[in-house]
Amino acid sequence: MTDLVFYTNPMSRGRIIRWMLEEVGQPYDTKILSWESGAAKAPEYLAINPMGKVPAIVHGGTVVTECAAICAYLADAFPQANLAPPHGSKLRGPYYRWLFFGAGPIEQAVAFQALKVAVPEDQRAMVGFGCIEDVHNALEGALKGRDYLVGDSFTAADLYIGAHLGWGMSFGTIEKRPVFEAYVAKLQARPAAIRANQIDDALMPQQPQPVPAE
**Best CATH choice for the domain 92-153+155-189 from the list 1.20.1050.10, 1.10.3720.10, 1.10.10.10, 3.40.640.10:** 1.20.1050.10
Residue 17 in this model has a pLDDT that exceeds 90: yes
Confidence of residue 204 (pLDDT cuts 50, 70, 90): confident
What are the two backbone dihedrals, phi and then psi, of residue 69, each rounded to the nearest 5 degrees? Answer: -65, -40
Contact 127, 119 (CB under 8 A): yes
The pLDDT assigned to 194 comes to: 98
At position 110, the amino acid (one-letter code) is V
What is the homologous superfamily of the domain 4-82 according to CATH?
Glutaredoxin (3.40.30.10)
The pLDDT assigned to 157 comes to: 98
Alpha carbon distance 76, 45 (integer Å): 25
The pLDDT assigned to 205 comes to: 62
Residue 214 in this model has a pLDDT that exceeds 70: no
The pLDDT assigned to 213 comes to: 42
Instruction: Give the start-to-end residue ranges of the domains of the chain.
Output: 4-82, 92-153+155-189
Contact 159, 71 (CB under 8 A): yes
The model's pTM:
0.92
Alpha carbon distance 17, 202 (integer Å): 16
- pLDDT tens string 133-162: 999 999 999 999 999 999 999 999 999 999
The pLDDT assigned to 210 comes to: 45
Q: Is the peptide bond preceding residue 50 cis, with omega within 30 degrees of 0?
A: no
